[in-house]
Structure 1
Amino acid sequence: MTGGPTATLPWVPPRAEFATEAEKAAAEWIAPYGQAWHLLRTRDWLMHLDPAATVEMRLAAMTHDIERMFPGGPRVDFTVASWDDPVYLYAHQLRSAEIVGVWLAGREARAEGVDAAEVRRLVALHEVGGLRGADLVQAADSLSFLETLAGLARDWVTSGTCTRAVAAAKLRYSVDRIRVPEAVEPARALFDWAVAQLPPEEEEDA
């Protein structure tokens, strides 16, 4: 049996225009990254959740996974590890924060007025959330993952990287970790849609 993506994508926010030179520079920097769309949509979701989000929050949203664009980063086998494995998550978010900090230090002219330390803090918390905007960045990351990377989860299953149950658990984890009340309902709608993109169990077993 051949399965394909099903259901209609739930409502998602429109693109939000870049308001600062720093954001334009960040968009140029992340453009070569294979999942740059996920980063950009994280910013869009952040601005939907909090239209008054600071430029530091917006930059953190746009760059939070950037360490994966550079070789030598942490790796984990999620067929045996859990999606909330702290050894991997902290290594990933801290490496991204370090890389973003170095990038900002070299962009003083276009990042004037940006609190680089605050951007690093938010990037360093994007997987686990926290105070002063960190929960919002994390929630936006989850919403964007469900919207933009459901196809990746499907590919994990069809390629044999993991089982359908493991991929579905990743999608569920993206919802369960959210602590921003306004993000829960759209996350649940996107979760249902994303799970529908996974191959049927009979196709996986074929």
Structure 2
Amino acid sequence: MTATQPWTAPRVEAGGEVEALAAEWIVPYGQAEHLVRARDWLVHLAPTATAEMRVAALTHDVERMFPGGPVLRHADQRWDDPVYLYAHSLRSAEAVTVWLGGLGAVAATVDPAEIRRLVGLHEVGGIDGADEVQAADSLSFLETLAGLTRDWVRSGVCSRLQAERKLRYMADRVRVPTAAQYAPPLLEWAIDQLPAEVAHR
């Protein structure tokens, strides 16, 4: 097992009031560190990222804070299943939109429609910052959720092969040139965290 984690993006401070409030909002989420690190990776990859890009990276999975969301079968469903990915992304976009609507005047410092667009595209990428948000999500996943993927195998949620496919999918979907150098070492490290296939009765 590779003991040393590869280089990762430095941590950054909130860039504005809405971003700071978003950081507080996501604290109860069990994978809040993944969201924070996605924001950090975004700023490293795109130092001039807009406030909307930063807030989108920081909130992109927020629908999982709330019950009743779409469910993906880890054992046998494709990781790129569009039915799940779009349902998840658009539910997060809606949750962020509702949250922004409750902020009052401070929300006027950002473009809620643009945040909604970027969150809605975070799994697939796109133009005008969406690829950068997706790349940041991908690199943060490899950095912060390798342990979760390992635990899927240990607990029998999915096979080792299926877990490795998830990690490779997250790395392979990165298409931002400035992010390409970081994905391979993080992928190798994350795969190395996976246990041997576990037999479950």
Q: Indicate the TM-score class for this superposition, using the shorter chain for normalisation.
A: over 0.9
Unaligned segments of structure 1, at least 5 residues: none
**1:7-55, CA deviations, whole angstroms, 9 ceiling, x for partnerless residues?**
3100011111112010110011000000000000000000000000000
Aligned partner (choices 51, 55, 63) of residue 55 of structure 1: 51
Shift of 1:185: 1.5
**1:128-181, CA deviations, whole angstroms, 9 ceiling, x for partnerless residues?**
000100000000000000000000000000000001000000000001111101
Alignment partner, residue 162 of structure 1: 158
Query: How does 1:72-87 map onto structure 2 within 5 Å?
Result: 72-87=68-83
- Runs of 4+ residues deviating >2 angstroms: 108-112
Query: How does 1:185-200 map onto structure 2 within 5 Å?
Result: 185-200=181-196
1:30 aligns with 2:44: no
Task: Tell me the distance in 2 between the aligned counterparts of 1:149 and 1:176.
Answer: 16
Task: Tell me the distance in 2 between the aligned counterparts of 1:76 and 1:101.
Answer: 24
Counting matched residue pairs gives 200
Q: Identity percentage over the alignment?
A: 65
Aligned partner (choices 125, 138, 143) of residue 121 of structure 2: 125
Aligned partner letter, 2:151:
D
Unaligned segments of structure 2, at least 5 residues: none
TM (norm. structure 1) is 0.94
Aligned partner letter, 2:172:
D
Shift of 1:113: 1.6
Task: Tell me the distance in 2 between the aligned counterparts of 1:27 and 1:51.
Answer: 19
Secondary structure of residue in 1 paired with 2:13: coil
Aligned partner (choices 18, 38, 44) of residue 42 of structure 1: 38
